[in-house]
Amino acid sequence: MSVKHALSRGLELGRSLFKLGVLKPASRVAAKFRGERLWVGQPSRGVWPQTFLPARYRYYRTSVRDLAAQLQSGSFRRILGGASPRNRAFFLAFGVGLGLIEQQLDDDRRNAATCQEIQALFRKKTFQSPLKQFASGYKLEDYVIGAMLGKGCNAAVYEAAVRFTPLRESSRCSLVDLKQNGEEKNVSALRSLSSTACYPLALKMMWNIGAGSSSEAILKAMCHELVPADPRALQKEKGEVVLSGCFGRVTKRVTAHPNVIRVYRAFTANVPLLPGAEEDYPAVLPPRHSPAGMGNNRTLFLVMKKYPCTLRQYLGMCAPDHRQASMMLLQLLEAVDHLCRQGVAHRDLKSDNVLLEFESAGCPRLVLTDFGCCLAEENLGLTLPFTNEYVNKGGNTCLMAPEVATATSGPGVEIDYSRADAWAVGAVAYEIFGQTNPFYGPARLESCSYQEWQLPRLPASIPDHTRLVVRLLLRRNPEKRPSARVTANILHLGLWGGKALADLDPFNTGRMADWLLCQSAVALLKGCGPTGSFMEAELQRGFLANLDLEELRVAVNYLIYGRELLQSTIV
């Protein structure tokens, strides 16, 4: 560094000193000459406690503020001692610069404390299920079972209601009654309820082919279906059985979230002959119902809320506008973030496993369901040992993240699923915005070999922040792919940042904290009045409940430089 350059830096930082009012009080200058330290900013306790490290580590026991004060003291001594201009300017500039850094750290700590207060305020508003709680429901005969809603590769789902629910005279239904000797008979139904109000529940009957007929064996083999289960879903004695988990591992339970399915009841019972069973799934029935059946006599039943349709069915009939589509994408990211925070990876995220309901005239609510393929082991977290090729990597291979699809088994190999579900959300986003999923169909891209420039571009009419999120989610390298929380923050800022978004600066945490306080007031007011979209208010409250200053800074950085990423050939 030349003497001229050092002097210019010293003068520049000296002007900032006068702006801060540090050199104005004459008492501080007098104290300097008495050997006392000159502090830049408000004095505070050092970063390291005095008793944290031994004396031989005295350098690390000095805080940034202490180091700044010592350098400033040294610069004054060099001025009085006739040191060279270069040394005087260098020590003054470096000392004042460290003091300003410490002041910035103080501002960051205060703003981080503000964010924590906002987070604590909105976390108190826990999600409450819209369904009324019921005390019974631990036996199959407690329910009235209606028509089949759908079936997959391992279960069939029927609409249901608790037995004491009043039925309309003009309806048709199918009742399953159990005799005292345990044999089932299908009582022909003359009334059926097609509305959600009359059939508010969905009964999922798992197909049991190789688990055995004992309750313990069934619960151990199908325990992943209980990851989103309510604490009161199982009776106490059965709940203790589930804690043993699968192959000796304890299965996690996720807390309630508005975008994750909730299992209200789970129990084992004899497999009944339900409507359409002999035509739709005869091979999985027990031999007493179907001669060609290979199923066991008992299986697991799950009771959940009934939803009108899946995301795939909805998108086949409706085309949401860009704002609604962005909020639907945001809900999926919020669900994935909720699972990741609790160490759970879904591993089978697709539009068929997302349910929909309509609570208001605005955006529909999306709910992630079907946890049969999830990774939810207490001692594994979001990483899975991939020691041999027989380890199950997940469900849908078409929407399997590149780091999972390209993993090669071997000693010590582990698959990291922390960003895998977020990648699948990026692929489903094409369907939400009315495009063909690039990883489906005859000309589909392979997740294990595609290049990012091959991804189709979304229409220019879609907001920039939304297109940026989809591009970021589909990055091949998981280290360059942002988390579900960061991408959700980008959508939050794009949807509700407005004109304030242009003024946000990741390095100006004070302005960011002011904007967050305004958003908190808006979210609280939306929750009190009948006007406005309920879904928007719920998403804003969820954003503030999961607020993290550093993650928000990363999201703002992506938005600032997002235009360059969108214009580049490879994102």
Amino acid 433: pLDDT: 96
Q: Where are the domains of the chain?
A: 3-123, 140-306, 314-567
Rounded Cα distance between 166 and 566, Å, is 56
Instruction: Residues 140-306: name the CATH superfamily.
Output: Phosphorylase Kinase; domain 1 (3.30.200.20)
Which residues are 310's β-sheet partners? 355
Active site annotation includes 280: no
The answer to whether the CB of 338 falls within 8 A of the CB of 254 is yes
pLDDT tens track, the chain, 571 positions: 454 555 455 556 555 554 554 444 444 444 444 443 333 344 433 333 333 344 444 444 445 455 555 555 655 555 545 555 555 555 555 555 555 555 555 666 777 777 777 778 787 665 666 556 667 788 999 999 999 998 888 999 999 998 765 444 333 343 343 333 333 333 333 233 334 558 899 999 999 988 888 888 898 889 899 999 988 888 765 565 555 544 444 578 899 999 999 999 999 999 999 988 999 999 999 999 988 899 999 999 999 999 999 999 999 998 899 999 999 999 999 999 999 999 999 999 999 999 999 876 678 999 999 999 999 987 888 999 999 888 888 888 899 999 999 999 999 999 999 999 999 999 999 999 999 999 998 889 999 999 999 999 999 899 999 999 999 999 999 999 999 999 999 999 988 887 666 666 666 666 777 778 888 887 777 655 444 567 888 888 888 888 888 888 888 888 888 766 666 644 4
Amino acid 186: pLDDT: 34
Q: 223 to each of 152, 246, 317, 340, 371, how far by Cα in Å?
A: 18, 7, 35, 19, 10
Amino acid 402: pLDDT: 96
The answer to whether the CB of 296 falls within 8 A of the CB of 212 is yes
Amino acid 31: pLDDT: 43
Amino acid 507: pLDDT: 63
Architecture, CATH, for domain 314-567 = Orthogonal Bundle (1.10)
Rounded Cα distance between 152 and 373, Å, is 13
pTM of the model: 0.76
Q: How far apart are the first and last CA of the chain?
A: 38
Amino acid 59: pLDDT: 43
Catalytic residue among 348, 352, 370, 514: 348
Query: Among 136, 157, 140, which Cα is nearest to 148's?
Result: 157
Q: 554 to each of 177, 205, 485, 492, 512, how far by Cα in Å?
A: 58, 44, 10, 13, 13
